[in-house]
Structure formats: structure tokens, C-alpha cells
Amino acid sequence: MEMRAALLYAPRDMRVETCEVAPCGEHDIIINLKKACLCPTDIKKYEAAKPDVEGALKQYGPCILGHEAAGVVVETGSAVTAVKVGDRVAVQPMIYCGTCRHCQEGHTNLCPEVIGVGCSAGGFGDCEKLFVEQGIGGCFATHLKVPEICAMKLPDSLSMEAGSLLEPLADVVHSVDHAQVGPEDDVAVLGLGPMGLLHVIAAKYNGAKSVTVVDLDEKRLEIARRLGADHTINSGKTDPVVQMKALTDGVGANKVFVVPGGPAQAILTAQAMDMVAKGGTVSLFSSSPTGADDFTVSINRIHYSMINFTGTVGFGTAHAEKAIEMLASGCFDYTLIRNKELPLSQINEAVALYGKGDNLKIGLDLEA
Ligand SMILES: [Zn+2]
Ligand SMILES: [Zn+2]
């Protein structure tokens, strides 16, 4: 079986080529992927912003990025029971060991052995090895061979475009559910990239009393409003901490999410600690770029105000099932977030456009 795939040869050198799909092992499936999305994780690898990437590419040869996608199962191994040929599925990208303490307790996202489809988690070299030795690559391709644990069945009513948003939405459901957002909560979401906007939807879905969003970009604040945000704060025009307190009778927000990584993360985290209510939760959603891990936390703020300071990574089956339920319910217009799509053949253009202008989640049509 042949496929078309975007092969990353070296930093910023990605070429769409035809290559062989690896044979399907007894616990594996092959998915004919239809739609995908780009993620900042892919951009970081494309730019080799992490030092291990370039070395691994030299050692093992090209890899295939991408971990957000949906498609149709076209082949199953003899021992596969979870799905059958013809099933519509989204990719669950975490390949975990299943036997360690975290896996046994159902926290497969914390498995120390985890390797992510499309080099999305674990060591980059380990992901490359998986591709070279077993042909398990990434989603920027027409076909993907993966273990059956990597398939989440989609209802017939769900489009492939919506299915390609399952992975990011499941991450956000985990974030919002871990902070136990419910009807009592005044929620604040700091940073309105695609993941910040998904936080608005997930918080509203959980019945949050109010959701306030903070960003510098008026257009993104407006999209958040259309997705259900109750209040918007333009942090370029007004002090978000003062504003948040004013909106909550001086108490602050109970649940505060710091969504982006990158240079803004430390500043936003400090703001979050200042605007969170006593007894409230500050949760960090994104990883920090290498070398920017340090952040000074006020011990007394945590102690006297009983602040829960936490974060989340990845997701579990229950979060994915809830994400599918949300997508299938039509509770939000996903085209406000996945607001551009390019063909696989133009993947380099898609990467260049990521995060620029009005583009939010950039989708890929893998059949074009
Ligand atoms: Zn992602
Ligand atoms: Zn494990």
C-alpha cells in the first residue's frame, strides 16, 4: 500500500512524497486519514526549536509530523477488537505502556514510556525510532499505521473536519475537568489562541457561572464572545487583574487558566496568581520553551489564600469521549476555530501561516 506523506528531512525542509505504508501488525490498524490540523508542537519540531530534533533527523532520516487527524479504518490486524474496517475514527496519539503504575491507574497520559504519534510526545529520537523500526509515523499523510489503542470511534454525524479537532479538544476537556469547573465558578481564560478559545467552550459546557477572557487581540476577543464568553478584557487597554476583581465584587476568579506557552507564559502566570480568588485554582495548560522553565511563585500567596496551583498534560479516554459528545452535540461552531484549510500539498504554506493574522487552527485536507 502506498501513501502520500509530508516528510521532514531537516529543520524547515519538508517534502510531500509518495512512500510505502508499513505492514499492519496483529494489534495494529491502518487509517486512511482525511483531515488533520496543525499544532504548535508540530511547528516547534519543524523549526527544530528543540535541540534533540536536528540530531535525531540526522541519525534516523526523515519523520512525519502531525497528531491531530481523523479518517477511516482500512485495515486491521488479526488480534484487533476495538475497531473494524470502515469505522470512522479520530487519532488518539499517545502510545503508552499499559503496565506501569500510572497506566494501571488510568492516567495513561502520565506514562513515563509514552511515545506520541507524529513525534508529539516522548523523546524525539524515540519517536523517530518507532517510525524507522515499526513504520508508525504521523498524521500529515494519507495513511497512518498505529496500535488499535490509538483509535477513537466517531459517530456518523460528525464531519472529518470536526473529528480532526478531537485531540486538542480532549486536552482542553482534561484541563477544565481537572480544575473541576462547574456552575459555582467564575472562570478566567488568559490567552486566546485556538486552545484558549476551546477553554471557553469547555467551561461553558460545564455550566460555569461566568467566563471572562483576556487577550490583546480584539478579533480574538470577539470570537470568544461568539463562542459564549461573558466578559472580555483587552489587556493592552486595561489592567486585567483590576478588571477581573471588578467583575467579581473584588473576590477574583475561582478558576484561572493560563493557556499559551512561550514568552507570555510567565507574565500571564503572575497575573493569574493575582486575579485568582482565595481557595481558587490556577492551572497551566502549555509546556514552557526550553530555558524558560523558571517562575517565581509566592509561597505566602499559595499558603494564606489556599491557591491550588496545577497543570494538565494530554488526556484520558473519558476526556476524549466527552470531547466527541461536545463535537457531536453541535454546541459550538468549530469553523470559528478551525478557520482555514489547505491541501496537504501546501503544508509548507500552512506552517508559514500558523499563528499569523486571523488564522487560528489551520486544517489540512489530506486528500488534496
Ligand atoms: Zn496538538
Ligand atoms: Zn505506562
User: Do 35 and 363 meet the contact criterion of CB atoms below 8 Å apart?
Assistant: yes
Whether residue 119 is found in the same domain as residue 194 = no
Percentage of residues in the chain having pLDDT higher than 90: 89
pLDDT at residue 290, as a whole number? 63
Q: How confident is residue 348, by pLDDT bands cut at 50, 70 and 90? A: very high
**Segments forming the whole domain that contains residue 130:** 2-165+338-365
For range 171-191, the mean pLDDT: 98
- pLDDT given at position 293: 62
Residues 306 and 349 in one domain: no
Answer yes or no: is 68 within a domain.
yes
Write the single-letter amino acid at 275. Answer: M
Q: Give residue 44 CA to ligand 2 midpoint distance, Å.
A: 25
Is 320 part of a structural domain of the chain? no
Which SS3 state, helix, strand or coil, does residue 5 take?
Answer: strand
187 part of a folded domain: yes
Q: Does 198 lie in the same domain as 108?
A: no
CATH code of the domain covering residue 272:
3.40.50.720
User: In this predicted model, what pLDDT tens digit does every residue of 287-325 receive, in sequence order?
Assistant: 887 656 667 788 999 999 999 999 999 999 999 999 999
CA 295–ligand 2 middle distance (angstroms): 29
Q: Write down the pLDDT at residue 294.
A: 67
Q: Are residues 143 and 176 in the same domain?
A: no
Q: Which ligand is nearest to the CA of 40?
A: 1
Do 181 and 58 share a structural domain? no
Residue 133 sits in the same domain as residue 154: yes
Q: What is the mean pLDDT of the chain?
A: 95
Q: Which of 9, 1, 102 is nearest to 53 (CA)?
A: 9
Residues with CB under 5 A from ligand 2 (ion): 96-97, 100, 103, 111
Q: What is the pLDDT of residue 291?
A: 59
Residue 80 alpha carbon to ligand 2 centre in Å: 20
Domain C-terminal end among 311, 326, 354: 311
Domain endpoint, select from 293, 311, 329: 311
Taking only the tens place, the pLDDT of each residue in 111-155 is 999 999 999 998 899 999 999 999 999 999 999 999 999 999 999
Q: Which of the ligands is closest to the CA of residue 106?
A: 2
- Say if residue 91 is in the same domain as residue 197: no
Give the Cα separation of 63 and 170 in Å (integer): 25
Q: What is the whole-number distance in angstroms between the Cα of residue 93 and the centre of ligand 1?
A: 9
Higher pLDDT, 182 or 266: 182
Question: Counting ligands in written order, which one lies closest to the CA of residue 111?
Answer: 2
Q: What is the pLDDT of residue 288?
A: 81
For 57-84, what is each residue's pLDDT tens digit? Answer: 999 999 999 999 999 999 999 999 999 9
State residue 48's pLDDT score: 82
Q: How many CB atoms lie within 10 A of CB 310?
A: 12
What pLDDT is stored for residue 368 in this prediction? 85
Structural domain count of the chain? 2
- The reply to whether 343 falls in a domain is yes
CATH number reported for the structural domain that contains residue 132 in this entry: 3.90.180.10
